[in-house]
A and B are shown apart, each in its own frame.
Chain A
């Protein structure tokens, strides 16, 4: 079965540093999402992306966050200046246009020290 691939699986960074989380979507999928989950809490929507632009973003997705699809395959989430409270598991999810279910990657565990 096709998979969403996320790298790295773990990322440790110092507060104030930039991080880039990467995702390779399923090849024929058109809708891309980033979610995050703080340990033991619910899965929170960050941003949706379609046709090379942001469709919707949450309050969490402030100016420190950005997304892009730099090469037509990878889908990245950048956090410019990380904060302690950015520590969470970040999930990429993708969806094709015929089916409303999301396919999730295994996540990147981000730890900000």
Chain B
């Protein structure tokens, strides 16, 4: 089944450092999205990158997409303690329903 897989499963860094999370998927996609989830809360949309895009920026976030490798990365620059959360990639497939398929997530901890 087409599914995002994040890597690493957990990441712990010092405040101010950059955090990079990766996502791989299996089938052709329309777009790939990144969401953030604070503990016990709903998911919040961060950024969407379409299959014909290679890189996208939003504030301290940078997302890349390599459709040949079926992978994406999310970079958070100059991390803050408030960035501590789980981050999920999600994909919509070509000729599929509108549903998003989520990966396992990366648990990011920013140490002050």
Contact = CB atoms under 8 A, between A and B. Distances in A.
A7 interface: no
B45 A103 contact: yes
Nearest to B100: A102
Interface residues of A, number: 26
Contacts of A31: 98
Interface in A16-47: 31, 33, 35, 41-45
Nearest to A35: B102
B25 interface: no
A1 to B, nearest CB: 10
Contacts, number: 60
A45 B45 contact: no
Interface string B20-51: 00000000001101010000111111001000
A106 to B, nearest CB: 5
Contact of B45 (A44, A102, A109): A102
A68 interface: no
Contacts of A4: 42
B97 A106 contact: no
A55 interface: yes
A41 B107 CA distance: 11
Nearest to B92: A100
Given A91-B42, A106-B41, A101 B33 contact: yes
B12 to A, nearest CB: 17
A77 to B, nearest CB: 15
Given A41-B104, A102-B35, 11 more contacts: A4-B42, A33-B100, A42-B88, A42-B104, A43-B90, A43-B105, A44-B102, A48-B99, A50-B98, A100-B31, A104-B43
Interface of B: 30-31, 33, 35, 40-45, 48, 88, 90, 92, 97-105
3 A-B pairs with the lowest CB-CB distances in the bound complex, closest first: A104-B42, A56-B97, A43-B102
Interface of A: 4, 31, 33, 35, 41-45, 48, 50, 55-56, 89, 91, 93, 95, 100-107, 109
